[in-house]
Structure 1
Amino acid sequence: MTFNENANVGGNTARRRGAGIAVAGGGITGLGALAVLLLGLFTGGDFSGILGPLAGGGGGGEESEVANCQTGADANRDDACRLAAASLNLDQYWARTLEGYRQPQLIIVDGSTDTACGTASNQTGPFYCPPEETVYVDPTFFALLREQFDATAGPLAQLYVLAHEYGHHVQQISGIMDAYPNNGSGPDSNGVRTELQADCLAGAWVADAGEQTDEAGVPFLQAPTQAQVRDALNAAASVGDDHIQRESGAPVNPEAWTHGSSEQRQRWFQIGYEGGYQACDTFGVSGGEL
């Protein structure tokens, strides 16, 4: 999805942080974060070196503004600025949609940093940390999507990833996470329903993304093309549990799913895209309808 070049995106509050030492504490929720855990689960490998030691902690790493990120043209040129600029769209959309919305912090990760939920890096993937109400994204993760999961990871695919994590923030502040706590893995688990709902909420935002504007009334983004929507759907398919299992060389095992299949992730994104956030009740349907 393309930013209008003259849109003012300089008001974003995204921060850059890096060079932290990974320590983990609270729960971690995200599109890519559990992919590393899944690889260990499916292959029997030890990925603790990627995820960091599982002991309490959080914070760390110096923060700075996202440099050279003032206009839509800047966002079109740079992945980090694209994410920072999109946070303005997402906050505006959810502030208009959800009563009592409060914006999360967005941290653009350089290399790695420690958080209250564990390592943030391109290896753990983008994730939302509920205790901090913070989204962490290392833009180099998108190169890994291309290299390891056969995704094209173009601009709209990147914004889908970010919108998915913002969907988790909406779930956190609206009480959905508390109402439907993690109850293990499996195709009908709360974890799968949580992730599919975040995909659906991302689709709802993408459909409306061309409606958010800067203070002068200039739309931040141009309406998505069908090719761009297909790119986002490709990213959703690439992080489906069944696809990750196949890529790791393991048989497809739905009982180990925590995020949903490629087909489910694409379908629920499409449900949100076509029906809006009101259509995203993944907890109100039977397992056969997921």
Structure 2
Amino acid sequence: MTFSEGGGFEGGRVETSRGGRGAAVGGGVGLLGIAVFLIAQFTGVDLSGVVGGAQGGGAAEEVGTIGECSVDEANTTRECRLSGTVQSLDAYWAAALPAAGVEFVAPGVRAFQDSVGTGCGQASASTGPFYCPPDQKIYMDLRFFDLLQSQFGASGGELAEMYVTAHEYGHHIQTITGVMDRADRQGTGATSDSVRVELQADCYAGVWAGTAASTVDPDTGVPFLEPITDTQLADALSAAEAVGDDHIQEQSGGGVNPHTWTHGSSEQRQRWFTTGYNERDMAACDTFAATDL
């Protein structure tokens, strides 16, 4: 069990789509280290050699939404887990941002299959999860979680999937707080702004995870999550390790080259997630002020 008994999640918060002409995304911010720069601002990864390109063949996208979900469904199905996670993130950040003097605006979220059209360009399943700043929307092909285990060696688990969602949500927080505009995301390297942006999003994901068991759903009066277990936390840290730049470079068969990093090492990603989880305060996530990442 992850989500608390007695709750439930209303429908319509998360869009779904299938089809559309697939191609590479430009301008989005992704979970993984970069393989090829498509335009200067793109920090996703090209996974075409792992999961293949788009399957849409130019067909029109079929757009819908995820319906109402029970707690059991949120604990057993990926679409409902995504919906529940997003609503938990909404509740946390809707309280945390005004307390920090920032107006909260919820991001859009779309779970897509095969390919999707975005304000950052076209994307296929080979893109991986990403956030598109012009749309202020998160895009996720939920089959990525299988890839995270089979190709990148993560242990899996519910909190690992939630970490991915919370990381992309963190990029939205950076957008509405102005971090994304101020950062120079064209650079690479172990101390680059690109890496600092990604590590801060990991830290924000940790802040949410650390507070989720005490954040109450305003609709049901029930905390969103049961207390996180050591095993669940280990699963989230395993996912953070799997998407470290050094780990991805090792998996690709090449040498580790910190000068090309855009997301940070496995150790850094785990450490900043843990910092957020333990501190439970977005003020602890100022990676731009940190001298030691």
Alpha-carbon distance in structure 2 between the residues aligned to 1:155 and 1:216 = 22
Q: Does 1:76 align with 2:79?
A: no
Q: Does 1:284 align with 2:283?
A: no
Equivalent residues of 2:52, 2:125 under 8 A apart? no
Closer, same or farther: CA 51–110 of 1 in aligned 2, 3 Å: closer
Q: Which residue of 2 aligns with 1:239?
A: 243
Q: Match of 2:287, as an amino acid?
A: T
Q: Does 1:265 align with 2:264?
A: no
Which among 201, 205, 226 is matched to residue 208 of structure 2? Answer: 205
Q: Does 1:109 align with 2:112?
A: yes
Q: Calculate percent identity across the aligned residue pairs.
A: 46
Q: Does 1:178 align with 2:181?
A: yes
Alpha-carbon distance in structure 1 between the residues aligned to 2:220 and 2:290 = 42
Runs of 4 or more consecutive aligned structure 1 residues displaced over 3 Å after TM superposition: 23-26, 34-38, 44-47, 49-52, 118-122
Aligned-residue offset at 1:35: 4.7
Closer, same or farther: CA 172–249 of 1 in aligned 2, 3 Å: same
Which among 178, 191, 198 is matched to residue 188 of structure 1? Answer: 191
Aligned-residue offset at 1:123: 2.3
Q: Which residue of 2 aligns with 1:41?
A: none
Q: Structure 2 matches for 1:90-239, cutoff 5 A?
A: 90-99=89-98, 100-214=103-217, 215-239=219-243
- Calculate the TM-score normalised by the size of structure 2: 0.87
Aligned-residue offset at 1:85: 1.2
Closer, same or farther: CA 152–119 of 1 in aligned 2, 3 Å: farther
Q: Which residue of 1 aligns with 2:41?
A: none
Closer, same or farther: CA 229–120 of 1 in aligned 2, 3 Å: farther
Alpha-carbon distance in structure 2 between the residues aligned to 1:23 and 1:147 = 24
Equivalent residues of 2:22, 2:124 under 8 A apart? no
Q: Match of 1:224, as an amino acid?
A: I
Q: Which residue of 2 aligns with 1:30?
A: 30
Alpha-carbon distance in structure 2 between the residues aligned to 1:6 and 1:187 = 45
Q: Which residue of 1 aligns with 2:10?
A: 10
Closer, same or farther: CA 161–96 of 1 in aligned 2, 3 Å: same
Alpha-carbon distance in structure 2 between the residues aligned to 1:81 and 1:216 = 17
- Calculate the TM-score normalised by the size of structure 1: 0.88
Aligned-residue offset at 1:71: 1.4
Alpha-carbon distance in structure 2 between the residues aligned to 1:51 and 1:167 = 27
Aligned-residue offset at 1:92: 0.7
Equivalent residues of 1:24, 1:114 under 8 A apart? no
SS of 1:109 mapped into structure 2: strand
Equivalent residues of 1:15, 1:66 under 8 A apart? yes
Counting matched residue pairs gives 274
CA shift digits 1:176-222 (9 cap, x unpaired): 01111213111111000000000000000000011223312012211
Equivalent residues of 2:11, 2:66 under 8 A apart? no
Q: Match of 1:93, as an amino acid?
A: Y
Equivalent residues of 1:272, 1:280 under 8 A apart? yes
Alpha-carbon distance in structure 2 between the residues aligned to 1:158 and 1:12 = 20
User: Which of the two has greater helix per residue?
Assistant: 1
Equivalent residues of 2:14, 2:111 under 8 A apart? yes
Closer, same or farther: CA 45–98 of 1 in aligned 2, 3 Å: closer
Equivalent residues of 2:2, 2:226 under 8 A apart? yes
Equivalent residues of 1:50, 1:124 under 8 A apart? no
Aligned-residue offset at 1:51: 6.8
Alpha-carbon distance in structure 2 between the residues aligned to 1:120 and 1:273 = 31
SS of 1:210 mapped into structure 2: coil
